[in-house]
Amino acid sequence: MKDLVKFLIFIIYSTVVFFIPNGYPLFIPISVNIFLIIGCLLFTYVYERRTKNYNTYKAFIIFSITFKVMPFIVFTFVINCMLDNYINAIFVGLKLLIVCNATVIYSFTTTAVKTARTIELLCSPLKLFKINTEEIFILVCISLSLIPIIKNEFIDIKNSCKAKNMTFNIKNSKYILSKFFYSLLMRVNEIENSLISKGYNF
């Protein structure tokens, strides 16, 4: 139930941010995000110090991931500048940054399995229509697990191409993409076998 409440608060908060008037009221969600970041960092420090497994890089992962979405925010800003004036574009970019940061904070404090269980719980009314919500849980788990896998596969392929002095173009795309999809399917198969071994049925 705690995870469900946290998920609903996150969804409502992310939606409300876009309806906040431009200007000084935006300092409220900015202050909330800063407070949550400090709380996450303190919790990570205290908990992992206690377990003697403290990792400085992990404590600042919120900042690193938020920084990685900046190109997308800049792209959104440019598009809004073309469609509207630059002042409104700045506020749209700022709201998007706040929501992206809130998403990173949520993912930092919640595991993929807990998120999948929360979505399964939200889909509980579908049981009235004889829909197996356990399958939804499995699909969400696989989807969330594939995100870091896809990222790592792209990094591996990029490093492999760099080592072979190969550039990504139309001529080489079939070799690169075939390797990528083969690795991805193998990973999906591993996840499926892992879930089957734990007693989940498809």
Position 171 confidence tier, pLDDT thresholds 50, 70, 90: low
Q: Which of 119, 149, 146, 111 is CA-nearest to residue 135?
A: 119
Whether residue 143 is found in the same domain as residue 189: yes
Whether residue 66 is found in the same domain as residue 137: no
Could you tell me the two tokens for 131?
Answer: 């829909």
Question: For residues 114 and 127, is the Cβ–Cβ distance under 8 A?
Answer: no
Secondary structure in 3-state letters for 16-53:
HHCCCCCCHHHHHHHHHHHHHHHHHHHHHHHHHHHCCC
117 inside domain: no
Whether residue 37 is found in the same domain as residue 83: yes
116 inside domain: no
How far apart CA 31 and CA 26 sit, in angstroms, is: 9
Could you tell me the two tokens for 14?
Answer: 């992310």
Question: For residues 120 and 134, is the Cβ–Cβ distance under 8 A?
Answer: yes
Whether residue 82 is found in the same domain as residue 143: no
Whether residue 181 is found in the same domain as residue 104: no
102 inside domain: yes
Whether residue 37 is found in the same domain as residue 77: yes
71 inside domain: yes
pLDDT computed for residue 201 by the predictor: 57
Residue type (1 letter), 49: R
Position 158 confidence tier, pLDDT thresholds 50, 70, 90: confident
Please count the structural domains in the chain.
Answer: 2
pTM for this prediction = 0.67
CA-based torsion, 179, 184, 187, 189: positive or negative: negative
42 inside domain: yes
Query: Which value, in Å, is the radius of gyration of the alpha carbons in the chain?
Result: 21
What value, to the nearest 5°, has the Cα angle with vertex 104 and ends 21 and 123? 90
Whether residue 101 is found in the same domain as residue 188: no
65 inside domain: yes
Whether residue 98 is found in the same domain as residue 33: yes
123 inside domain: no
How far apart CA 197 and CA 201 sit, in angstroms, is: 9
pLDDT computed for residue 124 by the predictor: 83
Question: For residues 55 and 124, is the Cβ–Cβ distance under 8 A?
Answer: no
Q: Which positions ≥6 away from 103 have C-beta within 8 Å?
A: 10, 14
Structural domain boundaries enclosing 100: 2-110
Position 44 confidence tier, pLDDT thresholds 50, 70, 90: low
Whether residue 101 is found in the same domain as residue 51: yes
Torsion of CA 72, 73, 77, 83, to 10 degrees: 60
Whether residue 101 is found in the same domain as residue 13: yes
DSSP secondary structure code for residue 169 in this structure: S
Whether residue 27 is found in the same domain as residue 88: yes
Whether residue 66 is found in the same domain as residue 135: no
Position 2 confidence tier, pLDDT thresholds 50, 70, 90: confident
Question: For residues 133 and 123, is the Cβ–Cβ distance under 8 A?
Answer: yes
